[in-house]
């Protein structure tokens, strides 16, 4: 494949084992050469913190998913690939799975010492 053919391919990136299509190659409004894939990757770092904080807060009652407010198609595709967007039922299941995982990681460890 020559360079011309490669440049015509749509931008893609792999998120959580899934390839997502990006609607543009470069991020708008930032330095030249900042790839949209880099922008999505950087945003996922922040979104991951928001997602787990949101799962923690669901212990106190239902509230809307803050990631749903994002309208950027590239980020929404990445959030969907990560499983961070869904119905209320799917989010509650994610919350329960998160709590179960956290509890198993915090289980007391008993140590026996040889005499």
> pLDDT tens for residues 82-99?
999 999 999 999 999 999
| pLDDT-derived band at 23, boundaries 50, 70, 90 | confident
Please check whether residue 43 is in contact with residue 75, taking contact to mean a CB–CB distance below 8 angstroms. Answer: yes
Query: Is there a domain that residue 115 lies in?
Result: no
Please check whether residue 52 is in contact with residue 98, taking contact to mean a CB–CB distance below 8 angstroms. Answer: yes
Query: Is there a domain that residue 66 lies in?
Result: yes
∠ CA 13-16-21 to the nearest 5 degrees? 30
Average confidence (pLDDT) over 102-114: 74
Query: Is there a domain that residue 114 lies in?
Result: no
Burial profile 59-72: b = 16 or more Cβ within 10 angstroms, e = fewer: eeeeeebebeebee
Predicted local distance difference test score (pLDDT) of residue 60: 95
Predicted local distance difference test score (pLDDT) of residue 19: 80
Range of the domain at 48: 3-105
Query: Is there a domain that residue 113 lies in?
Result: no
| pLDDT-derived band at 115, boundaries 50, 70, 90 | low
Query: Is there a domain that residue 60 lies in?
Result: yes
Torsion, CA 40, CA 76, CA 92, CA 42, rounded to 10: 10
Average confidence (pLDDT) over 23-41: 72
Query: Is there a domain that residue 112 lies in?
Result: no
Predicted local distance difference test score (pLDDT) of residue 22: 78
Specify the pTM: 0.74
Predicted local distance difference test score (pLDDT) of residue 3: 55
Whether the pLDDT of residue 6 is over 70: the answer is: no
Query: Total structural domains in the chain?
Result: 1
Please check whether residue 94 is in contact with residue 83, taking contact to mean a CB–CB distance below 8 angstroms. Answer: yes
| pLDDT-derived band at 5, boundaries 50, 70, 90 | low
Query: Is there a domain that residue 110 lies in?
Result: no
Query: Is there a domain that residue 74 lies in?
Result: yes
């Amino acid at each position: 494949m020559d360079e011309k053919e490669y440049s015509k391919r749509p931008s893609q990136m792999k998120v959580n084992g899934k390839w997502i299509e990006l609607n543009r190659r470069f991020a708008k409004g930032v330095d030249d050469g900042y790839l949209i894939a880099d922008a999505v990757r950087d945003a996922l770092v922040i979104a991951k913190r928001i997602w787990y904080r949101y799962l923690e807060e669901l212990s106190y009652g239902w509230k809307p998913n803050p990631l749903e407010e994002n309208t950027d198609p590239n980020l929404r595709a990445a959030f969907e690939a990560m499983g961070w967007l869904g119905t209320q039922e799917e989010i509650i299941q994610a919350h329960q799975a998160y709590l179960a995982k956290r509890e198993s990681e915090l289980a007391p460890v008993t140590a026996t010492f040889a005499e």
